Amino acid sequence: MIYHWHQPQWRQLTAHWQNQPNAWLFSGKAHTGKTAFARHLAQALLCENPAASHEPCGSCPSCHLFQQNSHPDFYELTPEIPEEEGSGRKLLQIKIDAVRSVIESIQLTSVRGGRRVVLVHPAESMNLQAANGLLKVLEEPPADVEFLLVSHQRDKLLPTIKSRCRQLVLPAPAHAEALAYLEEQQLDDAESLLAFHAGAPLFDPAPEQDEYRDALLQLLAEPRLLAILDYAADFDRQKSPLALFLDWLHKWLADVSLAHQNLSPLYYPAQLEAATQVARKTNPATLFRLIETLNRISPYGRHTLNVRMQVEYLLTEYLGFWQNKENTG
């Protein structure tokens, strides 16, 4: 399916249907429907009885196979999620072995006698070996094979991969559209959730994380050293990646920065008063240094760092910022 806010891009794509490239790159904000768009295109390319508008018919054998995730000419490259405990803290990657396996398969004849389609998402999760392996086949693609790459962070892709693709930006929905969608899903506090997820409505609800995020916001409003140590231990016990904590803290600091400029919060609108109070007593220059510290650590958010130690360190740095100490960072 295609979400209604991407219908203009679908019409743009189908207007030049007979001039399909060997590779598409769909980019935009995460959780806005890009992968659904790419899968819809994949089904349309494989459909044996498409409509005049190039929509998949939904009833031919190929469509049935696609809907059952068993189409023999559709290949999907996405990071494997390990099942062991604490796997959420590992960097998820598409590795070279998976890319090689798909490349070997698409060199063979199509099982159903039509196109073959390879979906790669998110494309930036390929490690360097995998990306170079894909690049080689993009440079000399087999006949009747189409690659569909989906990226949340296009800047992280190799320039040579981007140059081999026809690019299409898939925008996030307007605020009213996104809010209406969430209200249709009957989510509680849709407005706050949409703000926290930066206007991207297709996030996975994670109520088990709400308690830890709410506790962090209370701590950030009035930090104390003992409370910092307790929170770091509690967060570490839930085995979540450091990236999750970094995201929560980064969004809070962004809201405090807005409060320094007498602007409304972007991510935590319900915390307007707390963010304003923190802004009144703190130094913007110290805040920027703290944000720089987060930016330095962020690339390691999915690595197997000592999460408890990193949370303690960052919250202690935040305490120095909150106390308006100039040596923070």
pLDDT tens digits along 68-94: 999 999 999 999 776 554 445 566 789
For 109, 186, 244, 305, the CA distances from 248, given in Å and listed in that order, are: 48, 24, 6, 18
Instruction: Please report the pLDDT score of residue 82 as a whole number.
Output: 61
CATH 2.60.120 fits 206-322, yes or no: no
Instruction: Please report the pLDDT score of residue 90 as a whole number.
Output: 63
Mean pLDDT of 267-290: 94
pLDDT range class, residue 124, cuts 50, 70, 90: very high
Report the C-alpha gap between 114 and 66 in whole angstroms.
14
Instruction: Please report the pLDDT score of residue 85 as a whole number.
Output: 47
Instruction: Please report the pLDDT score of residue 125 as a whole number.
Output: 93
Equal CATH topology for 4-172 and 206-322: no
Report the C-alpha gap between 55 and 58 in whole angstroms.
9
Beta bridge partners of residue 76, listed in sequence order: 119
Instruction: Please report the pLDDT score of residue 161 as a whole number.
Output: 96
Domain ranges of the chain: 4-172, 206-322
Instruction: Please report the pLDDT score of residue 112 as a whole number.
Output: 86
Q: How many CB atoms lie within 10 A of CB 42?
A: 23
Instruction: Please report the pLDDT score of residue 84 as a whole number.
Output: 54
Instruction: Please report the pLDDT score of residue 300 as a whole number.
Output: 82
pLDDT range class, residue 110, cuts 50, 70, 90: confident
pLDDT in tens, 165-216: 999 999 999 999 999 999 998 888 899 999 999 999 999 888 888 889 999 9
% residues pLDDT > 70 (the chain): 95
Query: Higher pLDDT residue, 91 or 13?
Result: 13
3-class DSSP assignment, residue 259? helix
Residue-wise over 2-41: b if at least 16 C-beta within 10 A, else e?
A: bbebbeebbeebeeeeeeeebbbbbbbbbbbbbbbbbbbb
Instruction: Please report the pLDDT score of residue 329 as a whole number.
Output: 44
Identity of residue 237: R
Report the C-alpha gap between 205 and 190 in whole angstroms.
11
Mean pLDDT of the residues in the chain: 91
Instruction: Please report the pLDDT score of residue 166 as a whole number.
Output: 96
Q: Which CATH class for the 4-172 domain?
A: alpha beta
Angular region, 31: left φ>0, alpha ψ -120 to 50, beta rest = left
In sequence order, what E strands does the chain have? 23-27, 74-77, 116-120, 145-151, 166-169
Mean pLDDT of 94-119: 91
Report the C-alpha gap between 226 and 230 in whole angstroms.
6
Q: How many CB atoms lie within 10 A of CB 76?
A: 18
Establish whether the linkage from the previous residue to 122 is cis, with ω within 30° of 0: yes
Whether 316 shows a pLDDT value over 80: the answer reads: yes
pLDDT range class, residue 326, cuts 50, 70, 90: low
